[in-house]
Structure 1
Amino acid sequence: MKIKQKGFTLVELLIALTIVGILTSVAYPHYVQYIQKAERAEAQATLVSFASAMEQWRLANNNDYSNALVGAGETAIFANQVPANANATKTYSLSVVADKTSYTLTATPVASQENDECGVLTLNSAGIKGAKGLAPDVQHCWE
């Protein structure tokens, strides 16, 4: 009488591990890009909200952006990081350069976001959007 063995053979395990390895090597980079794009979108939304707050400040303060600053690159009217929650993992550092008639808002990537192809995101008082990174164009970064 023949005894039937239970379990997997070494070859079956190696095939399964190879398949998992191939799937992981393909999926992980796409996952990282997806996360970076989501974090970039949050930074963009924050910059747009920041610009709106700067415009409201200007209207309430004699058409002057400069007095919205409380320190070098920091404002009294908005957070200095994305996400704004200080307990969350910071993905972008926010800063502003302003004078009486104009401003430029900057979101500089930090931590895991530093490898994002779009790099530093900017938005100025004229509504011009910028990106200083390896991406092919600004449009790609702000879509």
Structure 2
Amino acid sequence: MTFTTTRNTGSHHPAQRGFTLVELMIVVAIVGILTAIAYPSYISYMQKTRRSVAAACMVELSQWVERNYTTCLAYNRTGATCATAMTSAALPNFACRNDLAGSYTFSFAAAPTATAYSLQAVPGAAQAGDTTCATLTLDQAGAKGASGTTPVNCWK
């Protein structure tokens, strides 16, 4: 019994698959350009979102202070008998304050008086780049303010 083996001696080789270095460098350049455009937009969007939540939290805190005023007839007093001085420590820890703990610090801009108060939201580390609005303020008359470079649209 004889066995015959045949070998394919033709030059037909399967095509190699893969990317060339030039193709990979083009893809890396495109991803780099898209990242350079998208990342600053993302950061700006996140700052605006946090600012909007902080503004809503300021309104919620203001409503709490006003409800306290209806009980004590003074902004600088709190407690069941209205014998406790109102300070930033007396402000309640609403969920919005906890959610924004790394982004904003909520407090009174100055010690409240019997007839006036001013709340402020001071940007923290996560919000430090928000120079457009910076510190947000809200007082007993409902006057909304911001200490940034362009405070016009900060409360929208």
Q: Cα RMSD between the aligned structures?
A: 2.3
User: Is the strand fraction higher in 1 or 2?
Assistant: 1
SS in 2 for 1:94: strand
Query: 1:19 matched to which residue of 2?
Result: 30
Query: 1:101 matched to which residue of 2?
Result: 115
Cα deviation for residue 79 of structure 1 reads 2.7
Cα deviation for residue 112 of structure 1 reads 1.6
Tell me the alpha carbon deviations over residues 8-28 of structure 1, each in whole angstroms, 9 at most, x when there is no partner: 000000100010000000000
Correspondence 1:1-143 to 2 at 5 A: 1=11, 3=13, 4-61=15-72, 63-68=73-78, 73-79=87-93, 83-85=96-98, 90-96=102-108, 97=110, 98-116=112-130, 117-135=132-150, 138-143=151-156
Opposite residue 106 of structure 2, the aligned amino acid is L
CA spacing shift, 1:60–1:89, aligned 2, 3 Å: closer
* TM-score, normalised with respect to structure 1: 0.86
Structure 1, unaligned runs of 5 or more: none
Query: Does structure 1 conserve the Cα–Cα contact (< 8 Å) formed by 2:78 and 2:85?
Result: no
**Larger Rg, first or second structure (1 or 2):** 2
Query: Does structure 2 conserve the Cα–Cα contact (< 8 Å) formed by 1:42 and 1:83?
Result: yes
Q: Distance in 1 between matches of 2:86 and 2:29?
A: 53
Identical columns (%) = 38
SS in 2 for 1:47: helix
Q: Distance in 1 between matches of 2:124 and 2:21?
A: 44
Structure 2, unaligned runs of 5 or more: 1-10
Q: Distance in 2 between matches of 1:127 and 1:41?
A: 16
* TM-score, normalised with respect to structure 2: 0.80
Query: Does structure 2 conserve the Cα–Cα contact (< 8 Å) formed by 1:68 and 1:77?
Result: no
